[in-house]
Chain A
Amino acid sequence: MIEVSNASKSYGDTMVVRDVSLRFPQGGITSIIGPNGAGKSTLLSMISRLLPMSAGTVTADGLDVTRTPSDVLAKRLSILRQENRIPARLTVRDLVEFGRYPYSKGRLTPEDRKQATAAIGYLMLEELADRFIDELSGGQRQRAYVAMVLCQDTDYVLFDEPLNNLDMKHAVGMMKLLRRAADDLGKTVVLVLHDLNFASCYSDYMVAMRDGAVIHHGPPDAIMTTQVIRDVYDMDVEIQEIQGRKISIYYT
């Protein structure tokens, strides 16, 4: 279980994340939502030790993320950020095989290669496996990175806006894939999402942030109400139930 206690992050006098305490449920998909600048990505970066905290602690399975050796943590928790550098001279397969680094330290065993092939298959990237990363479209590249993260085979998988750059079809495909990863592979998936309706349709749990603080959290049914959404976004949004799912109508 990922547990955040009293986590804060400040740059000078500005508090970006203030005193967040939260237990992420084990298993399933948890989405973090909130307006721009709410501190969602910062919180995710602190959970995944990419960013040092100003105060507080984060533990994953009882391991303090700031004190546990990075390579031990890399077998439990993986993260995919929104911007990734695009290295040249790297094929999709090379990239995915990097996911095995925590286990093999760069000396790939046949088992590692099998895992990489499986991850490539899971993301349906077989035909692109030998293409170079910088020759792919944004969506294909995103899938390649997701394959790398799945190849890392960790219990906790964190994504910072995984739907960036994806069109409708690929966005739905990505969410279905994460759903499968949670259901079939038993992963605990934590996402930062901008699209409320994707969060509502695919999450088991939602965390709403505003001004660096968590102001609501609960199952989608509890979060997807006009009242809560107004608290979070300062917007009056109509929530309708369409085919058994809560959908927010916020376009007009």
Chain B
Amino acid sequence: MPDTKRLHPLHVLLILAVLAAGLIAAFMTIGAKGRWDFILPFRGTKVLTMVLVAYAVAVSTVLFQTASQNRILTPAIMGFDALFILIQTALIFSIGAAGVANLSPYLVFALEVLAMVLFSSILYRWLFSGTSRSLHLLILVGIVFGVFFRSLSGFMQRIIDPNEFVVLQDRLFASFNSIDGELLAISSTVIIAASLVGWRFLRGFDVLSLGRDAAIGLGVDHDRVVTVVLLLVAVLVSVSTALVGPVTFFGLLVANLAYQIVGSHKHRFILPAAVLLAINCLVGGQLILERIFAFDTALSIVIDFVGGLLFLALLMKGAAR
């Protein structure tokens, strides 16, 4: 890693962007045997999906951490992954694997996104409209719901047909291998629209990191900005989870790596850095997974192993700020 203390955040971004471009180029071309007019669109869809998911996971994690003023929490703790698992389990439980296979993928996608956004909106509204405005209470309730969803899914998974369970298990792993182009387009539109809403608050996010009192003192409508952040997080996580499965695992890693190497509190540097890191993680991880391990392991294992080592190395070096 470069010596981060002397690098301007823009240079860090530039290095990360070049790295990401290199990895994407490698991913598109390495091991290509056959016709380019098949390979490029096929791998291109994969890359686009990974970029979209990287964006969603990185942005949602950083914003969630800013709003909760905590560097360890991720949106996963609010029970998003658990709700996704519950929806999938409930679907297979009620209409069977064959029934689910016959459903339109768009319908399932819309259902998942709606359920997840609705769940989080109701949770946030309920907690923010009352007298108690504690974000920690909100997170606690989220954790409890997560446990509840997981237990409910666990119960259903134990009593369904073992064959159906295998189908279900396959659906619960994040995968970039069979993405529908139409779904990808829909997801991108939703995520871009949500980001445009969040864009207006970009500089307000910096103030949030000073804490509630200081933010209000500086004229930021704290409750409103936090609500916007939480809704944005809900949309981003829901869409990406519905698209490829539970992938929030590497959010924690890229967000903290971004804080470490950017060395600035400004979200206009942290956010792009986290997104680029996430792209590097996903594309690099998938490259290793496909070319070295020949799909023999899970993407999360690759990313957590390599990323975790990198993170530890950064901490040991004491470049930490």
Knowing A50-B217, A106-B203, the reply to whether A85 touches B211 (Cβ < 8 A) is yes
Q: Which residues of B contact A169 (CB under 8 A)?
A: none
B218 within 8 A of A: yes
Q: At the interface with chain A, which of B51-59, B173-181, B245-253, B257-265?
A: B257-265
Q: Which of A79-131 contact B (CB under 8 A)?
A: 79-81, 84-85, 87-90, 94-95, 98-99, 101-102, 105-107
Point out the residue from A49, A87, A132 that lies within 8 Å of B209, measured CB to CB: A87
Q: Which residues of B contact A57 (CB under 8 A)?
A: none
Knowing A85-B210, A89-B321, A106-B206, the reply to whether A74 touches B217 (Cβ < 8 A) is yes
B219 within 8 A of A: yes
B301 within 8 A of A: no
Knowing A74-B218, A102-B219, A152-B218, the reply to whether A87 touches B265 (Cβ < 8 A) is yes
Interface size on A, residues (CB 8 A): 32
Q: Which residues of B contact A89 (CB under 8 A)?
A: 259, 263-265, 321
Q: Which residues of A contact B206 (CB under 8 A)?
A: 98, 106
Please, how many angstroms separate the alpha-carbon atoms of A17 and B12 in the complex?
A: 52
A98 touches B218 (CB 8 A): yes
Please, how many angstroms separate the alpha-carbon atoms of A26 and B204 in the complex?
A: 32
B213 touches A101 (CB 8 A): no
- Give 1 or 0 for each of A142-155: 1 = CB within 8 Å of chain B CB: 00000001001000
B220 touches A71 (CB 8 A): yes
A208 within 8 A of B: no
Q: Which residues of A contact B217 (CB under 8 A)?
A: 48, 50, 74, 78-80, 149, 152
A101 touches B211 (CB 8 A): no
A71 touches B321 (CB 8 A): no
Task: Output the nearest chain B residue to A85 by Cβ-Cβ distance.
Answer: B211
A70 touches B265 (CB 8 A): no
B263 touches A101 (CB 8 A): no
Point out the residue from A50, A80, A99 that lies within 8 Å of B216, measured CB to CB: A50
A70 touches B263 (CB 8 A): no
A107 touches B211 (CB 8 A): no
Please, how many angstroms separate the alpha-carbon atoms of A90 and B209 in the complex?
A: 10
Q: Which of A49-85 contact B (CB under 8 A)?
A: 49-50, 69-75, 78-81, 84-85
Please, how many angstroms separate the alpha-carbon atoms of A94 and B321 in the complex?
A: 15
B218 touches A99 (CB 8 A): yes
Knowing A84-B211, A85-B69, A87-B209, the reply to whether A101 touches B218 (Cβ < 8 A) is yes
Q: Which residues of B contact A48 (CB under 8 A)?
A: 216-217
B207 within 8 A of A: yes
B170 within 8 A of A: no
B214 within 8 A of A: yes
Q: Which residues of A contact B161 (CB under 8 A)?
A: none
Please, how many angstroms separate the alpha-carbon atoms of A122 and B125 in the complex?
A: 44
Q: Which of B123-150 contact A (CB under 8 A)?
A: none
Point out the residue from A81, A85, A101, A132 that lies within 8 Å of B220, measured CB to CB: A101
- Least CB distance from B220 to A in Å reads 7
Q: Which residues of B contact A69 (CB under 8 A)?
A: 219, 221
Q: Which residues of B contact A132 (CB under 8 A)?
A: 321
Q: Which residues of A contact B219 (CB under 8 A)?
A: 69-75, 101-102
Q: Which residues of A contact B203 (CB under 8 A)?
A: 101, 105-107
- Give 1 or 0 for each of B173-202: 1 = CB within 8 Å of chain A CB: 000000000000000000000000000001
Q: Which residues of B contact A80 (CB under 8 A)?
A: 217
Please, how many angstroms separate the alpha-carbon atoms of A149 and B210 in the complex?
A: 13
Q: Which residues of A contact B214 (CB under 8 A)?
A: 81, 84-85, 98
- Least CB distance from B263 to A in Å reads 6
Please, how many angstroms separate the alpha-carbon atoms of A80 and B203 in the complex?
A: 21
Q: Which of B228-282 contact A (CB under 8 A)?
A: 259, 263-265
What are 30 A-to-B residue pairs whose CB atoms are below 8 Å?
A48-B216, A50-B217, A69-B219, A71-B220, A71-B221, A72-B219, A74-B219, A79-B217, A80-B217, A81-B214, A84-B211, A85-B210, A87-B211, A88-B321, A89-B263, A89-B265, A89-B321, A90-B265, A95-B210, A98-B210, A98-B218, A101-B203, A105-B204, A106-B203, A106-B206, A106-B207, A107-B203, A132-B321, A149-B217, A152-B217
- Further pairs besides A87-B265, A98-B206: 14, Cβ < 8 Å: A48-B217, A49-B216, A50-B212, A50-B216, A69-B221, A70-B220, A71-B221, A74-B219, A87-B210, A90-B209, A101-B218, A106-B206, A152-B217, A152-B218
